[in-house]
Amino acid sequence: MSQPERLQWIDAAIRAEQFPNVKVVQQRFEVSRRTVFGDIRYLRDRMNAPIVHDRVRGGWTYTSTSFVFPTLLITTQEAGALSRALIAAVEFLGKGDAEPLRLLLQSCTRFLPDLDQRHLETVTGAIRPSHNVSIPDALLEDCRRAVKTRQRVLILYYSLHRNEMRERTVRPYHIINHLGEYHLVAWCEMRSAIRQFYAGRIREWTVLSPANAFLPDPDFDINHYRRGLHLRHGEETVLVKARFTPYQARWIRERSYHPTQTIEDLPDGGLVLTLHVAGVAEVRRWLLGYGGEVEVLEPATLRDEIACEAKRLSKIYDA
């Protein structure tokens, strides 16, 4: 058994006034004396347990009944995986969620000696969302509540595309954190369709009364909806094919960019990457970053857009 299981058993035995000792723990868990004493030191030094050895009873006991043993017990390996997940979450979530997670990460490092924060991994990347738009915690909490209770929400939303403010009544289905940005996936009553609203553009909101509760569309599948690599306003899925040069193909092969991706190797060492994505706006920007190392094959509209962008760049640098 693992150390957390041994610690839990020792604590339960002490509380039951069984006065466990080294021999008893050794026999039950088939461990060495050194391991048992290591467990006791851990209880005393890391968990601040008021544990002492009662010579009269021949076993350990607590000097105070106020000590509370943690109910969540995880191994060092499990805590390491949790810490790495928390590090990523702290980097990409909003401040309202990041701070509680940061405190949780500190708790992990306090109870597990192998998780020294000075030696934890960091999360970096070439493209990082900068949270210049402040999203009120109250907005996220109200949206989460509305998703749970199926209450309509009246929002005043700013559209970058149209450069205008407009009121909309929406039926919240789900909240997505995409690249560090919160989006509300909801049925828009004005458009009579699923739409995605960036929380940073919701200027005002009101959760309508329970009398205005709604029944969600039983055919809506959030997992199907999220399959798009680039989530933008509920656009239809688009097939994208791009041919990478033999040089760039070396990097493309070693990464997974999307759960639907397929790779076709070419005789010259290059490859064709195929994706099924929701919308092409971000895909276009991503592909442009590879310059002349990639050629868009499908769809024709995206190929034309890339070609036009290349001509614009040529005019800028030829001037």
- Please report whether residue 219 resides in a domain: yes
> Do 7 and 82 have their domain in common?
no
- Please report whether residue 247 resides in a domain: yes
| 8-12, 68-72, 132-136, range with greatest mean pLDDT | 8-12
Q: Got the DSSP string for the chain? A: --HHHHHHHHHHHHHTT----HHHHHHHHT--HHHHHHHHHIIIIIS---EEEETTTTEEEES-TT----S----HHHHHHHHHHHHHHHHHS-HHHHHHHHHHHHHHHHH-TT--GGG------SS-----S---HHHHHHHHHHHHHTB-EEEEEEETTTTEEEEEEEEEEEEEEETTEEEEEEEETTTTEEEEEEGGGEEEEEEPPGGGB-PPPTT--HHHHTT-SS--TTPPEEEEEEEEPHHHHHHHHT----TT-EEEE-TTS-EEEEEEEE-SHHHHHHHHTTGGGEEEEE-HHHHHHHHHHHHHHHHHHH-
CATH number of the CATH domain containing 269: 3.30.70
Residue 163: which domain range?
137-225
- Please report whether residue 276 resides in a domain: yes
> Do 213 and 270 have their domain in common?
no
> Do 218 and 143 have their domain in common?
yes
Counting residues of the chain whose pLDDT is more than 70, the rounded percentage is 79
- Please report whether residue 143 resides in a domain: yes
- Please report whether residue 167 resides in a domain: yes
> Do 80 and 29 have their domain in common?
no
- Please report whether residue 68 resides in a domain: no
- Per-residue pLDDT, 46: 86
- Please report whether residue 130 resides in a domain: no
**Domain count along the chain:** 4
- Please report whether residue 129 resides in a domain: no
- Reported pTM: 0.51
Summarize pLDDT for 187-228 with one digit per residue, the tens.
999 989 889 899 989 999 999 998 889 998 888 888 777 765
> Do 146 and 208 have their domain in common?
yes
> Do 82 and 43 have their domain in common?
no
> Do 109 and 86 have their domain in common?
yes
Counting residues of the chain whose pLDDT is more than 90, the rounded percentage is 47
CATH number of the CATH domain containing 217: 2.30.30
> Do 93 and 157 have their domain in common?
no
